[in-house]
Structure 1
Amino acid sequence: MNANRKPISRKPAGRRFMTFLMLAATSTGAHAFDPLRVERDISATAGGAIVPVCAFSGAPSRPLRLAEAVERTLCNNPRTRAAWAVVKAQAAGVGAARAAYLPTISANWQGVRESSVIDIENHPALSEDINAFTRTAGVSLNWLLYDFGGREAVLRNANALLEAARATQDATLQSFFAQAAKDYYATQTAIGELNAAQDVEAMTRQSMAAAQARADKGVAPVTDALQAQTQHEQAVFSLTKAESDAQTALGTLAADMNLTPDVPLEVPAVTDEARVDHNFNETVAEMIRAVQAAHPSVRAAQAQYDAALAKVSQTRAQGLPSISLVAKYSRNNQPQSLGLGLATYSSTGHDAYIGVQVSIPLFEGFGRKYQIDQAKAQAERQEDAVEDAQRQVALDVWSSYQSLTGATRNAQNSANLLDIAQRSWDAAKHRYDAGVGNILELLNTQAALANARQRRIQALADWDNARVDMAAKLGTLGRLDVSP
C-alpha cells in the first residue's frame, strides 16, 4: 500500500447535502440559487444571444446608429422582455418537474398550554386539576419511487415547453430585430426625402426667380413665371409633408426602443455609399428546405408538439398505480395518569414508522379516458401547427428572396435614372439661362430630377429592408447584420 495516501474524508450526509446546495448556489452565475441547474442556459438579457450585454443606457447617441437602435429595441421592448420572462418561467417549470424525483420532507412542532379543572362534588378524590405545557414535534417523509412513467412524462413535457419558449424568444428577437431595422431605414428614408424636398424647394425657387426676372425684362411671357411659381408651391407642399413624415418615423423608432415618441433623435439620412449587392451560396430551394427544419418558429411548433405528446403519456400515467416510500417520526411530552382522579405525571413518548405505500386508482368515472382523448386531439392540433409553420416560413423565404432580388436590381436602375435626370436638368438649365430653352423644358427636367432623387432614396431603403427581411425570414439575424 502507498503509505503517503491520505485517508478519505467522509462527511455526514447532512453536511454533504448542505455542501451540494452551497456549490449549486455559487455555480449558477447570474442566478443566485439554482440547485437543480435549470437556469444555466437562460440568456443574461432580454436580447438573448444577439445582445448578451445591454451596454446602452440613458439618452440615445447623436447620431443614432443602427446597431444601437437594434440593441435598445431587443433589450428594452416590452414584448422581447415578455418572451424572456416566459423562458424563465418555463425553466422554473423544468425545475419543478425535476424536483418530483426527490423526496419531500416536512416538519411540524406544536406547543399547547393545557389547563383542565374537573371538580366532582362530594368526591374530591376524583377531582382533577391539570396545568401543563404540552409539546409535540415530528418529521415525515414521502418519496415517490415508481409511477409508471408519470414523472418522466411531466419532465419531458416541461423540457419541451422550455425549448418552445426558447425558440419563441428567438423568433421574437428575429422579428423585432427586423422591425427595428426597418423602422430605422424608414426613418433614414424619411429624412433623406426631407433633404431631397428641401433641395427641390430651393431648386424650384431659383427657377421661379429666373423666370420672374425674364418676364420682368419682357424676354419671356408672364405665363413662364406663373408656371415656375406653381411648381415652387407644389415643392413647398411636398416639403411640408416630408417634415411631418420624418417626425412620424422618428417617433415610431423611439417607440421601438421603449422611449417616448417625443425623445429627440438624430438619424443620418440614406446615402449612396452603401454597397448594394447580394450573394447566396445556396439556391432558394435549399434555403427553403433549411428554414423548414431550423427556423425558430418551426422549432417552437415542433417543441409544442413534443410537449403535447408528453402530455398524453402524463395523463395516461396519472391513472396508473404509484409506489411511495413513507416514513414518520414524532415525539411529545403528553402527561399521563393511571386513571380518573389520580395524579398526572410528566412523560415523554415517540412514534415512528417506515413503509411502502401503494396507491391504485380503481374507478374515476371514465374521466381519465376522455382526458387522454383530449390530450391526443391537442397533440394532433400541434402536429398540424408544425406543418403550417413549415409552409409559412417557406413562403416567407420565397417572397423575401424575390423582393431582395428586385430591390437589388432597382437600386442600380435608380442610380442610372438619377444620373440621366441630373444631366438633363443641368442641360435644360444651361439652355434656359442662355435664352435658348423654354420654361416647359426646364420645369419638366426639374420635375424628373426631383422624382429621380426620391426614387433613388426609396430604392436604397427598399434594398436595406429586403436584406434585413431576408435574414429575418431565414432566422439568421445577428450583430453582423447591422453597421457598427
Structure 2
Amino acid sequence: MNDRHVTRLAVTGVALAIAGNAWAFDPLLAQRGVPANPSVSMIPGERPCEFGAVEQPLSLREAVERGLCHNRKTREAWANVKAQAAAVGVARAAFLPTVSGNWQGVRDDSATDVNGHPQLSSNTAATVRSESLSLNWVLFDFGGRAAAVRNASNLLAAARATQDATLQEEFATVAKEYYTAQATQAAREAATEVERMTLDSQVAAQARVDRGVAPITDALQAQTQHDEAVFNLTKAEGDAQTALGTLASDMGLDPDEPLIVPAATASSLPDQTYGESVAKLIDEIKRAHPAVLAAQAQFEAAQAKVVQTRAEGLPNVSLVAKYSRNNQPASLGLGIPTFPANGRDAYIGVQVTIPLFEGFGRHYQIRQAEAEAERQHDVVDGTQQQVALDVWTSYQALRTATQNVMHGETLLSIARRSFNAAEHRYRAGVGNILELLNTQTALATAKQRRVQALADWHNAKLQLASKLGRLNMVNVSENLMSELK
C-alpha cells in the first residue's frame, strides 16, 4: 500500500470520526430518545441487528428480528425520526442569539493626477484590513418561535408513532410469511402422505384385479387418483420452496438461502373466550394505536403552524450589537499624503421590525395553514374509524379461525376412521372401489383443510395483535393470545 492510499484512508477515518461526533453533539437536547437503529424499540439487547449464521430450524423470533433490521420501510421511518428531531433543534435554536463575524483584507492602490496642479496629485498604496462582529437576538415575537417548537415537536411525535406503526406492520408481514412457509411445508407433508396412501390403494386394487375378484376399472380408477396425488405433491413442493424464498428475502437474505422452519402445531390453541370484549378493544385502539397517535400529532402540529404563521406577520423586538475595526489610511484632504490610521465602531441597541404590508400574502398563508389543520382533523377521524374497523375484522377473523381449527381436527379424525374402515373392507373383499376412493378423497381434503385452518389461525391471531399495536419480541416467544386475556 503506497503513501497515497495510506493518506486517503487516514482522511476518510478522520472524516467519519468528525461526522460521528457531529451527530452525537446535541447541545439543544433535540435528539434525546432517537433510536440507535431502525428497530431498537422492538428488539431488546445491547447489540441488536447483529446476526451470525441462520439458526436451524428458524425461529419466528429470528425471522422477525432480521426482517425488522433489513426492511427498507423501517429504515426510512427511522431516518424520518432523525430528521424531525433535527427540526426540533432548528426550532429551539431560534431562541438563541446569532453571532456572525466578517474579515476582509484588500490591497488598495489608488492614484490621483490633477492636471496643472501636481501638488494636489496623490499616489497611495496600502493593505487594508477590516474586522467586524455582529449580534442579533430576537427578544419578543408574539409566540412565533414557541409555536415553531410545538410544530416541530408534534411532527417528531408523529414520526415516532409512524415508526412504531411501520415496525408493527413489518413485524406482521414477516410473521405472516413465516406462517405461510410453515403452512406450505405442512401441505407438502400432507400431500406426501396422500400420495403414499393412494399408492397403497392402487397396489391393493391391482392385486384384486390380478386375482380376478375385481374389474380392471378398479385399478384404473385407483391409478388415476394416485397420478392426481403425485401432481398435487409436485405443486406442494414448489409452493413450499416459493414460500421459503419469500421469507428469506424478507429477512434480507438471498431467496436460495436454505431455511428450515418447524412444523405448525395446534398445541397453543386458545379457548373461545376472550378477556376483553371487542367494544373495549375498539375503544382502546381508537386512542392508543400508533397510527392514531401519529395522526393526532400531525393535527396538533398543524394547529401550531397556524399560530406560527400568524405570529410571523406581527412585530418582533431584537437586541442588536456590532463591533468593527479597520486600518484604513486617513488623509486631511486632496493632495495631502495619507497616514496610517486605525478605526473602531461599536453600537448596541434594540431593533423593532414591523411588517406593514406583504401583498396580502400573510393572509393567505394563514388561511392555508388553517385549511391544513382542518384536513388533519379529518385524517384523525378517518384513522380512528379505520383502526376500529381493522380490529373488528381481525377479531371476527380470529374467532372464525379458532372455530375452524377445532372443526378441522374433528373432521380429520372422522375422515381418517372412515378411510381406515373402507380400506379394511376393500382388502377383505366386502367393499367396493368407489367407497375406498371417496373416503380417500375425503381424508385428503380433511388434511388440507386442517393445514389451511392452522395457517389461518396463526395469521389471524398475529393480525389482531398487530392491529392492536401489541406486537413485540416478548410475546413472540410466548402465546400472542395472552395479550388478549
Normalised by the length of structure 1, the TM-score is 0.90
In the alignment, what sits opposite 1:411? Answer: 405
RMSD: 1.9
In the alignment, what sits opposite 2:29? Answer: 37
For residues 426 and 439 of structure 2, the distance between their equivalents in structure 1, rounded to whole angstroms, comes to 12
**1:70-81 paired onto structure 2 within 5 Å:** 70-81=64-75
User: How far off is 1:157 after superposition?
Assistant: 0.7
User: How far off is 1:100 after superposition?
Assistant: 0.4
2:364 to 370, 373, 377: 370
1:241 paired to 2:241: no
* Paired residues of 1:111 and 1:134 also in contact (CA < 8 A): yes
For residues 249 and 397 of structure 1, the distance between their equivalents in structure 2, rounded to whole angstroms, comes to 27
Q: Per-residue CA shift, 1:298-332, capped at 9, x if unaligned? A: 11111111011111111111111011111111111
Distance of aligned partners of 1:376 and 1:161 in 2 relative to their CA distance in 1, 3 Å threshold = same
1:125 to 111, 119, 132: 119
* Paired residues of 2:40 and 2:48 also in contact (CA < 8 A): no
Question: Could you tell me which amino acid in structure 2 is paired with residue 142 of structure 1?
Answer: N
Q: Which runs of 5+ in 2 are unaligned?
A: 1-19, 479-485
In the alignment, what sits opposite 1:171? Answer: 165
User: How far off is 1:293 after superposition?
Assistant: 0.8
For residues 171 and 400 of structure 2, the distance between their equivalents in structure 1, rounded to whole angstroms, comes to 22
User: How far off is 1:60 after superposition?
Assistant: 2.8
Q: Per-residue CA shift, 1:253-309, capped at 9, x if unaligned? A: 223223333333222232343434465322111111111111111111111110111
In the alignment, what sits opposite 1:142? Answer: 136
1:250 to 222, 244, 250: 244
For residues 396 and 29 of structure 1, the distance between their equivalents in structure 2, rounded to whole angstroms, comes to 44
Question: Could you tell me which amino acid in structure 2 is paired with residue 289 of structure 1?
Answer: D
User: Any idea what SS the aligned residue of 1:336 has?
Assistant: coil
* Paired residues of 2:195 and 2:226 also in contact (CA < 8 A): yes
* Paired residues of 1:107 and 1:138 also in contact (CA < 8 A): yes
For residues 266 and 231 of structure 1, the distance between their equivalents in structure 2, rounded to whole angstroms, comes to 30
1:441 paired to 2:435: yes
In the alignment, what sits opposite 2:212? Answer: 218
In the alignment, what sits opposite 1:15? Answer: none
Farther off after superposition, 78-87 or 264-273: 264-273
**1:81-230 paired onto structure 2 within 5 Å:** 81-120=75-114, 123-230=117-224
Question: Could you tell me which amino acid in structure 2 is paired with residue 425 of structure 1?
Answer: F
* Paired residues of 1:56 and 1:68 also in contact (CA < 8 A): no
Q: How many residues align?
A: 457
Question: Could you tell me which amino acid in structure 2 is paired with residue 95 of structure 1?
Answer: G
Distance of aligned partners of 1:298 and 1:436 in 2 relative to their CA distance in 1, 3 Å threshold = same
Question: Could you tell me which amino acid in structure 1 is paired with residue 282 of structure 2?
Answer: I
In the alignment, what sits opposite 2:12? Answer: none
Question: Could you tell me which amino acid in structure 1 is paired with residue 133 of structure 2?
Answer: V
1:319 paired to 2:338: no
Distance of aligned partners of 1:44 and 1:279 in 2 relative to their CA distance in 1, 3 Å threshold = farther
User: How far off is 1:193 after superposition?
Assistant: 0.5
**1:278-357 paired onto structure 2 within 5 Å:** 280-357=274-351
* Paired residues of 1:78 and 1:258 also in contact (CA < 8 A): no
In the alignment, what sits opposite 2:13? Answer: none
For residues 51 and 339 of structure 2, the distance between their equivalents in structure 1, rounded to whole angstroms, comes to 73
User: Any idea what SS the aligned residue of 2:370 has?
Assistant: helix
Q: Per-residue CA shift, 1:384-427, capped at 9, x if unaligned? A: 11111111111111111111111111111111111111222222
* Paired residues of 1:156 and 1:307 also in contact (CA < 8 A): yes
For residues 247 and 52 of structure 2, the distance between their equivalents in structure 1, rounded to whole angstroms, comes to 16
* Paired residues of 2:303 and 2:373 also in contact (CA < 8 A): yes
For residues 268 and 208 of structure 2, the distance between their equivalents in structure 1, rounded to whole angstroms, comes to 42
In the alignment, what sits opposite 1:57? Answer: 51
Deviating beyond 6 angstroms after TM superposition, the runs of 4 or more aligned structure 1 residues are none
Question: Could you tell me which amino acid in structure 2 is paired with residue 88 of structure 1?
Answer: K
User: How far off is 1:459 after superposition?
Assistant: 1.1
User: Any idea what SS the aligned residue of 2:24 has?
Assistant: coil
Distance of aligned partners of 1:134 and 1:277 in 2 relative to their CA distance in 1, 3 Å threshold = farther
User: How far off is 1:58 after superposition?
Assistant: 4.9
**1:384-399 paired onto structure 2 within 5 Å:** 384-399=378-393
For residues 30 and 242 of structure 1, the distance between their equivalents in structure 2, rounded to whole angstroms, comes to 54
User: Any idea what SS the aligned residue of 1:38 has?
Assistant: coil
Question: Could you tell me which amino acid in structure 2 is paired with residue 43 of structure 1?
Answer: P
User: How far off is 1:30 after superposition?
Assistant: 11
Q: Which runs of 5+ in 1 are unaligned?
A: 1-27
Distance of aligned partners of 1:279 and 1:82 in 2 relative to their CA distance in 1, 3 Å threshold = farther
Farther off after superposition, 190-199 or 205-214: 205-214
User: Any idea what SS the aligned residue of 1:39 has?
Assistant: coil
In the alignment, what sits opposite 1:47? Answer: 39
For residues 310 and 280 of structure 1, the distance between their equivalents in structure 2, rounded to whole angstroms, comes to 42
Q: Per-residue CA shift, 1:240-260, capped at 9, x if unaligned? A: 221222122122222322333
Question: Could you tell me which amino acid in structure 2 is paired with residue 344 of structure 1?
Answer: T
* Paired residues of 1:30 and 1:44 also in contact (CA < 8 A): no
* Paired residues of 2:330 and 2:340 also in contact (CA < 8 A): yes
User: Any idea what SS the aligned residue of 1:337 has?
Assistant: coil
For residues 216 and 54 of structure 1, the distance between their equivalents in structure 2, rounded to whole angstroms, comes to 67
For residues 457 and 50 of structure 2, the distance between their equivalents in structure 1, rounded to whole angstroms, comes to 28
For residues 256 and 22 of structure 2, the distance between their equivalents in structure 1, rounded to whole angstroms, comes to 35
